[in-house]
Structure 1
Amino acid sequence: MLDESVDGLGVSILSRDLKSMENRIDFTFGIITYNHSDYILEHLESIKYQILNYGKGAGVKLVVSDDGSSDNTLEIIKKWISYNADLFMECIILGDGVNRGVGHSFTNIWKHIGDEAFKVLAGDDVYSYENIFLEANLLEKYDFVSGLPLLLIDGKILYKKNLMFHLYATQHIYKNKTLLSKIKNISVINTPSLLYRNKFIKDKSVFDFIRQFRVTEDFPMMASLSSIYPKLKFFTSDRVYIYYRRTKGSIYIVDSERYNKDKEDVFKYLINVDKSYIGRFLTRNRLFCYKAGGRIGKVLNIGYYIYLLRLLMALPKITSSMRGLRIDEEKHRTHYKKIVERARRARWELKI
Structure 2
Amino acid sequence: MSSINTPLVSVIIITYNSSRYVLETLESIKSQSWKYIELIISDDASKDNTVQLCRDWIKENRERFVESKIITVEMNTGISANCNRGLQATTGEWIKLIAGDDVLMNNCIADNLEYARRLPEASFIVSDMTEIDENSVPIDKKSINEGLAFLMSKSTTEEQLKAYSRWPEFLNTPTFFYRRELLNVIGYCNEKFKIYEDMVMIFKIIGAKVKIHYVNKPTVQYRIHANSASRNKSIDEIREREALDIFRMYQKKNLNVFNLIDLSVYYENWLRFKYKGLYKLKGISYLRKLSLFYWYLKLHGVKNY
For 1:186, the aligned partner's letter is: W
Q: Which residue of 2 aligns with 1:223?
A: 203
Higher helix share: 1
Q: Which residue of 2 aligns with 1:284?
A: 266
Check conservation: 1:148, 1:190, Cα contact below 8 A. yes
Alignment partner of 1:261 is 2:241? yes
| 1:247 counterpart (225, 230, 233) | 225
Check conservation: 1:43, 1:126, Cα contact below 8 A. yes
- SS of residue in 2 equivalent to 1:43: helix
Unpaired runs of at least 5, structure 1? 1-21, 295-352
CA distance, structure 2, for counterparts of residue 246 and residue 264 of structure 1: 25
Q: Which residue of 1 aligns with 2:250?
A: 270
Under a length normalisation based on structure 1, what TM-score does the superposition of the two structures give? 0.67
Unpaired runs of at least 5, structure 2? 277-305
Matches within 5 A, 1:30-69: 30-50=12-32, 53-55=33-35, 58=36, 60-69=37-46
- SS of residue in 2 equivalent to 1:31: strand
CA distance, structure 1, for counterparts of residue 151 and residue 139 of structure 2: 21
For 2:201, the aligned partner's letter is: M
Alignment partner of 1:185 is 2:162? no
Matches within 5 A, 1:71-90: 71-90=48-67
Check conservation: 2:10, 2:92, Cα contact below 8 A. no
Under a length normalisation based on structure 2, what TM-score does the superposition of the two structures give? 0.77
CA distance, structure 1, for counterparts of residue 223 and residue 101 of structure 2: 6
| 1:197 counterpart (179, 193, 198) | 179
- SS of residue in 2 equivalent to 1:240: strand
CA distance, structure 2, for counterparts of residue 132 and residue 252 of structure 1: 25
CA distance, structure 2, for counterparts of residue 189 and residue 71 of structure 1: 30
Check conservation: 2:93, 2:181, Cα contact below 8 A. no
Using the TM superposition, give the Cα deviation of residue 278 of structure 1 relative to its aligned residue in structure 2, in angstroms.
4.4
CA distance, structure 1, for counterparts of residue 206 and residue 140 of structure 2: 29
- SS of residue in 2 equivalent to 1:211: coil
- Cα deviation code 1:158-179 (max 9, x no counterpart): 254443445434433x345533
Using the TM superposition, give the Cα deviation of residue 269 of structure 1 relative to its aligned residue in structure 2, in angstroms.
0.8
CA distance, structure 2, for counterparts of residue 290 and residue 152 of structure 1: 30
CA distance, structure 2, for counterparts of residue 131 and residue 191 of structure 1: 14
Check conservation: 2:255, 2:266, Cα contact below 8 A. no
Using the TM superposition, give the Cα deviation of residue 119 of structure 1 relative to its aligned residue in structure 2, in angstroms.
0.4
- SS of residue in 2 equivalent to 1:157: coil
Q: Which residue of 2 aligns with 1:102?
A: 79
Alignment partner of 1:125 is 2:102? yes
| 1:234 counterpart (212, 222, 239) | 212
CA distance, structure 2, for counterparts of residue 70 and residue 47 of structure 1: 24
CA distance, structure 1, for counterparts of residue 224 and residue 250 of structure 2: 28
Give the root-mean-square deviation of aligned CA atoms. 2.6
- Cα deviation code 1:109-139 (max 9, x no counterpart): 1111235112011110001132413413434
The count of aligned residue pairs is 263
CA distance, structure 1, for counterparts of residue 220 and residue 87 of structure 2: 20
- SS of residue in 2 equivalent to 1:237: strand
Using the TM superposition, give the Cα deviation of residue 143 of structure 1 relative to its aligned residue in structure 2, in angstroms.
3.0
Percentage of pairs with the same residue: 23
